[in-house]
Amino acid sequence: MTASAPPTSSATHPEVIAPLLLDYYDAHARRLPWRAIPGDPPPDPYRVWLSEVMLQQTTVAAVIPYFEKFTRRWPDVEALAAAPEEDVMAAWAGLGYYSRARNLVACARAVAERGGFPEEEAELLKLPGLGAYTAAAVAAIAFGKRAVVVDANVERVVSRLFAISTPLPSARKEIRQATCRIVPDERAGDFAQALMDLGATICTTREPRCLLCPLAQHCRGRATGDPAFFPVKPPKKAKPVRQGTAYWMERGGAVWLVTRPGKGMLGGMRALPDDGWKASASGDRAAPVPGKWRECGSVRHVFTHFALELDVLASAGEPASDPTGAGEWWPLDRLEEAGLPTLFARAAAMAIANRSEPFMPD
C-alpha cells in the first residue's frame, strides 16, 4: 500500500462521524419497503425483524419480492405465528438458508405469545433464532436503542475507516469495538442503516467510490492509498464436492415429492427423493422403485461449506405402487406451489425438459 496524508481528524468519536453520516443518510437513504423515511416514526418491529432475517446472506434485490409477498400474506407477527410451518417454508422457497424460515415461525409464535417484541437488546436475544446482529438491528431501528449493528457492509466500512489490518474473522471483535465508538446516542437506528447504505452503494467491495463518500476526509483506509485492501480476508479454501442422485417419478399427472427431515440441509422442505447425496464410486444407485430409468442430466449447487453435483434420473414408466418412505403425489400443474428449494426446482425443470432421453439399461 502507498501511504499518504493521514485523515484530517480523528475517526474515533461519534461527534466527528455521526453528523456527517446522518446528514448524508437524510439526503440519500435508500427507499426500501421495510424502512421508515428519515424523520418519520420508526417502522413496525415486525417488518424490521422480518427484513433482517431475510437479508442474512441474501441481497436486497432478492429479498424485496419475498418481503412484499410475506407481508401481504402475513401482515403482522400474529398472522405469521398462526401460519402452518409448511406454508411458510413453501413461501420461503428460493431464498436459501432454510433454517431461517423454521426459526422465523418459532420466533413469531414466541413474540405473539408474549404480546409483542421486547424493546431491549438483551430481551430480544432470548427469542428463538435471534442472534446478536438481528437483536441489535431490531433494538436500534425499531426502538431507537443505542446498539452496535454490524453486518457485512458495516464491517467493510468500519474496517476501512479505522484501517483495521487484522485478518477476518479475527478482526471482528476489533471492528465491533470500533463501531461502538462511533455509534451516537441519538438516531442509532438511522446511523446503523446509514452505515449499511454507505457500504452497499459507496464503500463497495471493489473500487470504492471515495470521492462521493461523506467520511472520506476521516478514513484511515483511504489515507493508505488502497482502501479496498480492507477488510483483510484469508485465502479462500476450495470447497469439497459431493455427488448425489435425485429421482423423478410421475403417475397420473403428478410427481412424487418427499418432505426432508426437519434438521439438516434444506430441512423441512418438499423435494424430490434422493440418495442422501452419497453416490457410490461404483455408480450403484439405490432407486426408490425398481424399473428402468432415464438420465436427464445433472445440476450443480453451491452450499456454504460444499458444492453438490446432483444427477437427475426419471422413471421410465408410472410406478405400480407408491415408492418406499413417506411422500405425496403432487399435481404437476401446481408444482410451483410446492415450494421446492432452488436445487430441486432446477432438477425438476431438467426432468421435465428431458422426457424424451433414452432409458438406462436395467
* Residue 262, burial from CB neighbour count under 10 angstroms (0-12, 13-18, 19+): exposed
Query: How much is the pLDDT for 14?
Result: 61
Can you tell me the distance from the alpha carbon of 24 to that of 212, in angstroms, rounded to the nearest whole number?
10
pLDDT, position 279: 56
The sign of the dihedral angle between the CA atoms of 168, 181, 203, 190 is positive
Is 52 a catalytic site residue?
A: yes
User: What is residue 3's predicted lDDT score, i.e. its pLDDT?
Assistant: 40
Separation of alpha carbons 44 and 22, rounded Å: 21
The pLDDT score that the predictor gives to residue 31 is: 96
Nearest to 232 by CA among 315, 274, 312, 169: 169
Pairwise CA distance, residues 149 & 323, whole Å: 49
Long-range contacts of 86-91 (CB under 8 A, 24+ apart): 86/259, 86/268, 89/268, 89/269, 89/270, 89/339, 90/270, 90/337, 90/338, 90/339, 91/66, 91/339
Q: Closest Cα partner for 141 from 73, 72, 40?
A: 40
HSE (side-chain half, CA atoms, 13 Å) at 103 = 17
Q: What DSSP state is assigned to residue 8?
A: S
Q: Give the three cell numbers for residue 219.
A: 478514513
Active-site residue (options: 52, 121, 155, 250): 52
| CA–CA dist 194, 189 (Å, integer) | 9
Strands (E), 109-232: none
**pLDDT computed for residue 318 by the predictor:** 81
Per-residue pLDDT at 97? 79
8 Å CB contact between 151 and 176:
no
Cα distances (Å, whole numbers) of residue 33 to 2, 36, 37, 66, 201? 42, 8, 10, 11, 18
**Alpha carbon of 262 to those of 70, 116, 124, 306, 335: distances in Å?**
22, 27, 25, 20, 21
- Give the DSSP letter of residue 172: H
Q: Domains along the chain?
A: 14-229 (1.10.340.30), 241-353 (3.90.79.10)
What is the predicted pLDDT for the residue at 354?
83
316/193 Cα distance (integer angstroms): 54
Phi then psi for 274, rounded to 5 degrees?
-145, -175
The pLDDT profile of the chain, 362 residues, written as one tens digit per residue, is: 434 434 444 445 567 899 999 999 999 999 999 999 998 999 999 999 999 999 998 899 999 999 999 999 999 999 999 999 889 988 998 888 788 888 999 999 999 999 999 999 999 999 999 999 999 999 999 999 999 999 999 999 999 999 999 999 999 999 999 999 999 999 999 999 999 999 999 999 999 999 999 999 999 999 999 999 999 998 888 889 999 999 999 998 999 999 888 777 888 889 999 988 865 444 455 678 877 888 999 999 988 888 999 999 998 888 877 887 788 999 999 998 888 988 999 999 999 988 765 545 44
Joined together, the cell numbers standing for residue 49 give 425483524
CA dihedral 160, 163, 165, 167 (to 10 degrees): -20
Cβ neighbours of residue 101 closer than 8 Å, sequence gap 6 or more: 88, 89, 92, 95, 268
